[in-house]
Amino acid sequence: MDRVGADFRHVITTLEEQLQIQPVAIQIPIGAEDRFEGVVDLITMQAYYFDEAGYGVDFECRKLSGDLEAEANLARAELLDQLSLHDDELTEKLLEETEPDIEEIISVLRRETLSGSITPVLCGSAFKNKGVQQLMDAVVDFLPSPLDIPPVIGMHPVTEKEVSRNASVDDPLCVLAFKVATDPFAGQMNFVRVYSGKFESGKSVFNPRKKKFERIGNLVKLHANKREEVNQLLAGDIGAAVGMDLVTGDTLCPKESQLVLEKTQFPEPVMDLAIEPKTKPDQEKLHESLTRLMQEDPSFRSKVDTETGQMVISAWGIAFGNHGGSAPT
């Protein structure tokens, strides 16, 4: 909303026309462009003003008044009208001019969001972090938890038969390594999602790709820039396993109850870039950096051109190519 030309109402209309969805505004902005100060929550009817100097870390909750209150009342009436199309009890309350409870509004919003019939729309500023806290609350309130989605489907690596897992600690273990990163202190960190079962530190788990067991090292839950060491990750959890030799897309499971989840399909690189170390002693550093980049991102490629003898990296575009080329320095 702090961009030049920002128009919240125009975005709502565009979403409806181009994406063929029913967008439902649950916030309205307070100002726009360089006058964007905060947001109004149409569910609680509270105004949130963000501290400009603190880049959105601190905010103040104020009561509505004046023109802003009038605008918010109209927007809230529109919100309730849209929701009433999906809930008979809410319709009756509106006809009787009875104010619905906040919990009731949230319940209808969540139910219809999960069914795909509506799409909640919020506003904010990524640059100044305005509205981020409210966005995170909306993720918790309206988006599906692991229990709200169907069982995950995989394939048995030997029989090639379809296998499913429910989001339950009682089902056999199913873990997906969806990202690999290198930590300067901890070494290789494998970001994992536990679809079912219990992923417990110190135990062994089978890797169908390698056809061998992997020992589970230290496990951590990540909260922004903070880490919390845990003994186990349960069905529905997302965390990181430290020190395991995995690649992006690996599935971990019991040997007696194997399955492999569908791997992410990465697009082919669109550009090649020849690189070389600044000095000969940097050759080893270059090799290590390229190996690390390929582990972290399967879409990144590196090879030696057989004709020229040059080291060539393949990437999605110039920005990533520059990143890859500068990694060893």
| Segment 188-221, tens digit of pLDDT | 889 999 999 999 999 999 999 999 999 999 999 9
- Give which of 249, 247, 228 is closest to 239, Cα–Cα: 228
Q: Quick one: pLDDT band at residue 325, thresholds 50, 70, 90? A: very low
Co-location of 204 and 86 in the same domain: no
Of 215, 237, 261, the residue at which a domain comes to its end is 261
Q: What is the DSSP string of 205-245?
A: EEETTTTEEEE---EEEEETTEEEEESEEETT-EEEEES--
Q: Are residues 137 and 35 in the same domain?
A: yes
pLDDT 10s digits, 294-311: 766 767 778 787 777 778
Q: Residue holding tokens 């993720």?
A: 139
Do the domain assignments include residue 240? yes
Distance CA 133, CA 140 (A): 11
Q: Does the structure show a pLDDT above 80 at 263?
A: no
> What pLDDT score was predicted for residue 13?
95
For residue 37 the two structure tokens come to 């100060």
Contact 240, 219 (CB under 8 A): yes
In this structure, are 206 and 228 located in the same domain?
A: yes
105 and 31 in a common domain: yes
Asked if residue 117 belongs to a domain, the reply is yes
CATH of the domain at 286: 3.30.70.870
R_g (Cα) of the chain, nearest Å: 25
Distances in Å between the alpha carbon of 37 and those of 129, 130, 161, 191, 318? 11, 8, 55, 36, 36
CATH of the domain at 88: 3.40.50.300
Mean pLDDT of 245-260: 93
Residues 92 and 129 in one domain: yes
* Cβ contacts of 98 within 8 Å, gap of 6 or more: none
| Domain match, 134 and 256 both | no
The model's pLDDT over 35-86, given as tens digits with 9 standing for 90+, comes to 999 999 999 999 999 988 877 788 999 999 999 999 999 999 999 999 999 9
Domain count, the chain: 3
Instruction: Report how far residue 88's alpha carbon sits from residue 69's, in angstroms, rounded to the nearest whole number.
Output: 28
Q: Are residues 43 and 122 in the same domain?
A: yes
- Residue 318 forms part of a structural domain: yes
Q: What is the pTM of this model?
A: 0.73
Instruction: Match 């905060």 to its residue by tokens.
Output: 38
| In-domain check, residue 266 | no
What pLDDT is stored for residue 147 in this prediction?
A: 86
Q: Indicate the residue among 222, 242, 261 that finishes a domain.
A: 261
Q: In this structure, are residues 165 and 154 in contact, taking their beta carbons and an 8 Å threshold?
A: yes
Q: Are residues 21 and 132 in the same domain?
A: yes
Provide the domain limits for residue 29: 8-142
Please tell me whether residues 38 and 123 are part of one structural domain: yes
Among 142, 165, 181, where does a domain finish? 142
Same domain for 99 and 118, yes or no, is yes
Output 176 or 270, whichever has higher pLDDT: 176
pLDDT given at position 316: 65
Dump pLDDT digits (tens) for 131-170.
999 999 999 999 999 888 899 999 999 999 999 999 999 9
Q: Extract the tokens encoding 182.
A: 């290198």
Measured in whole angstroms, the distance separating CA 46 from the mean position of its chain's CA atoms is: 27
Categorize the per-residue pLDDT at 326 as very low, low, confident or very high, splitting at 50, 70 and 90: very low
In angstroms, the CA 129 to CA 56 distance is: 5
pLDDT tens, residue by residue, 87-125:
999 999 999 999 999 999 999 999 999 999 999 999 999
* pLDDT over 70, % of the chain: 94
